[in-house]
Amino acid sequence: MTTRAWRWIAVIVLAATAVVGLGALASTPARADDKFKLDVDNQMAADVEFCLRSTTSGVVRDCTGRINTRKTDTLYIDYKQGDQIYLDYEVFGEHTHDGNLITGASNCKLTGTVTSPHMSCNVPDSANVYKVDVDNKMGADTEFCIRTTTSGTKRSCSGRLNARKTATLYIEYKEGDVVYLDFEIFGEHTHDGNVITGGHQCTAEGIINATKVDCHVPTSDAPGRKFSEKPMSPYAIDVNNPNSDMMSLLGLLAWCVSACCVAGLVLTGVSMSLQLRRGEPGEFSTHWRGAFLVAVSCFIGTTAGPIVAFLDLV
Q: How confident is the model at residue 24 (pLDDT cuts 50, 70, 90)?
A: very low
> Is the separation of the CB atoms in 161 and 167 below 8 Å?
yes
Beta bridge partners of 157: 145
Please report how many Cα atoms fall inside a 13 Å half-sphere around the Cα of residue 57, on the Cβ side. 21
Q: What b/e sequence results for 96-123 when a residue is b if at least 16 CB atoms lie within 10 Å of its CB, and e otherwise? A: ebeebbbbbbeebbbebeeebbbbbbeb
pLDDT mean across residues, the chain? 75
Of 223, 224, 222, the C-alpha closest to 203 is 224
Which of 55-59, 110-114, 198-202, 290-294 shows the lowest mean pLDDT across its residues? 290-294
The per-residue pLDDT for range 89-109, each reduced to its tens digit, is: 999 877 788 888 887 788 899
Q: How confident is the model at residue 290 (pLDDT cuts 50, 70, 90)?
A: low
Q: What is the C-alpha separation between 79 and 67, in angstroms, rounded?
A: 25
Mean of the pLDDT values across residues 57-83? Answer: 87
- pLDDT for 255 equals 77
For strands 129-138 and 201-207, give the pairing: parallel
Mean of the pLDDT values across residues 111-134? Answer: 78
For strands 35-42 and 107-112, give the pairing: parallel
Q: What is the C-alpha separation between 83 and 36, in angstroms, rounded?
A: 10
> Is the separation of the CB atoms in 104 and 151 below 8 Å?
no
Mean of the pLDDT values across residues 176-199? Answer: 85
The per-residue pLDDT for range 132-163, each reduced to its tens digit, is: 888 998 888 888 889 998 888 888 888 788 88
Q: What is the C-alpha separation between 227 and 230, in angstroms, rounded?
A: 10
- pLDDT for 140 equals 85
pLDDT > 70 fraction of the chain, expressed in percent and rounded: 68
Beta bridge partners of 100: 87
Round the CA-based radius of gyration of the chain to a whole number and report it: 38
C-alpha angle 114-116-117 in degrees, rounded to nearest 5 = 75
Mean of the pLDDT values across residues 62-70? Answer: 91
- pLDDT for 196 equals 87
Q: What is the C-alpha separation between 260 and 298, in angstroms, rounded?
A: 8
End-to-end CA distance of the chain: 129
- pLDDT for 220 equals 43
Mean of the pLDDT values across residues 271-289? Answer: 61
Q: How confident is the model at residue 124 (pLDDT cuts 50, 70, 90)?
A: low
Q: How confident is the model at residue 48 (pLDDT cuts 50, 70, 90)?
A: very high
Collect all residues with Cβ–Cβ distance below 8 Å to 108 and sequence separation of at least 6: 38, 39, 40, 41, 50, 87, 102, 119, 120, 121, 122
Q: What is the C-alpha separation between 17 and 21, in angstroms, rounded?
A: 6
The per-residue pLDDT for range 215-255, each reduced to its tens digit, is: 876 554 444 456 665 555 556 666 677 677 777 777 777 77
Q: How confident is the model at residue 25 (pLDDT cuts 50, 70, 90)?
A: very low
